[in-house]
């Protein structure tokens, strides 16, 4: 079951239900994309029809962020609650350790994915990590069909993917986007976690979904940094009070401009709900 929220399909599912859906995807062996939708992405999608279409092509879309849960309630189509990227990732990693699923971690700064993988294996000794790769790579010069792709849609115009993600300028020694795709495909993971920041991670997955051949790929934002101990997650009491966004802002004041999207999103959702009644 799903709802329509500002033109985007959102699945009515809780954390355990999302895990079961992913398990079913893995069982098929066919490529699937999971998106954990937050207000920033959905608001941006209102101005970018291609991004909205990408969201609606995903195989599972969860409500990541209390703003999405609130907007769904205001619209009269409530969802069970938040299913955040990091919570879903951690639940899937635990399931992967039990089921023998292979996982691949792509993204974040050099060394972060490796440390996150090490800590996850420490907590889940049976976890099979098929591979890791940092998120600083260059645009592909040739795509999965051999076409020239000098400018990738997975990053901001005028900037390299690294700079789009807040990282350093391109390094000629970094692998290309297509090198990374081939690396992942060769590792044959069952689950691919992509930490490139939204919407770059969602665009990367959508673009290479078939070429990757991974049963389930999902974007997880800054989850690797949290798991690796580079960034502290908001205290549990903040999470329970739905103030995780505030905790993140206090830790990273430079995010204040991005946070301006939240009141705009709230106004848009409220207005849409009122006009729709």
Domain membership flag for residue 150: yes
Q: Which domain holds residue 239?
A: 2-272
Domain membership flag for residue 277: no
Burial of 66 (0-12, 13-18, 19+ CB in 10 A): buried
Domain membership flag for residue 264: yes
The 10 Å Cβ neighbour count of residue 268 is 17
- Rounded percentage of the chain residues whose pLDDT exceeds 90: 71
Give 92-102 pLDDT, tens digit per residue. 999 999 999 99
Give 165-222 pLDDT, tens digit per residue. 445 556 777 899 999 999 999 999 999 999 999 999 999 999 999 999 999 999 999 9
How far apart, in whole angstroms, are the C-alpha atoms of residue 75 and residue 4? 9
Q: Of all helices (H) and strands (E), which one includes residue 193?
A: strand 191-195
Selection from 134, 143, 129 nearest residue 161 by Cα:
134
Q: Total domain count for the chain? A: 1
Say what the pTM is.
Answer: 0.85
Contact call for residues 69 and 3 (beta carbons, < 8 A): no
Any residues with CB less than 8 A from the CB of 104 and at least 6 apart, and which? 129, 130, 131, 132, 133, 184, 187, 189, 191, 192, 193, 214
157 band by pLDDT with thresholds 50, 70 and 90? very low
Instruction: Tell me if the bond preceding 2 is cis, omega within 30° of 0.
Output: no
Domain membership flag for residue 94: yes
Selection from 118, 63, 128 nearest residue 95 by Cα:
128
């Amino acid at each position: 079951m799903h709802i329509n929220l500002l033109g985007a399909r959102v699945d009515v599912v809780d954390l355990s239900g999302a895990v079961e859906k992913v398990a079913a995807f893995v069982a098929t062996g066919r490529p699937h994309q999971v998106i954990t939708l937050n207000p920033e992405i959905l608001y941006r999608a209102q101005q970018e029809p291609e991004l909205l279409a990408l969201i609606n092509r995903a195989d599972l879309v969860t409500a990541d962020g209390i703003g999405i849960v609130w907007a769904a309630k205001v619209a009269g189509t409530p969802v069970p609650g938040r299913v955040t990227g990091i919570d879903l990732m951690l639940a899937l990693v635990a399931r992967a350790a039990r089921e023998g699923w292979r996982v691949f971690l792509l993204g974040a700064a050099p060394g972060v994915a490796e440390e996150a993988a090490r800590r996850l294996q420490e907590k889940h000794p049976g976890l099979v990590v098929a591979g890791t790769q940092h998120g600083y790579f260059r645009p592909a010069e040739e795509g999965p069909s051999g076409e020239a792709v000098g400018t990738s849609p997975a990053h901001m115009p005028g900037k390299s993917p690294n700079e789009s993600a807040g990282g350093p300028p391109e390094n000629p020694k970094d692998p290309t986007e297509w090198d990374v795709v081939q690396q992942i495909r060769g590792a044959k993971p069952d689950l691919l976690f992509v930490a490139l920041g939204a919407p770059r991670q969602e665009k990367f997955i959508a673009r290479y979904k078939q070429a990757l051949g991974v049963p389930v790929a999902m974007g997880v934002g800054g989850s690797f940094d949290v798991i690796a101990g580079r960034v502290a997650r908001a205290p549990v009491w903040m999470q329970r009070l739905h103030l995780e966004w505030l905790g993140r802002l206090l830790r990273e004041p430079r995010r204040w401009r991005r946070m301006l999207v939240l009141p705009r999103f709230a106004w848009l959702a409220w207005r849409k709900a009122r006009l729709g009644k």
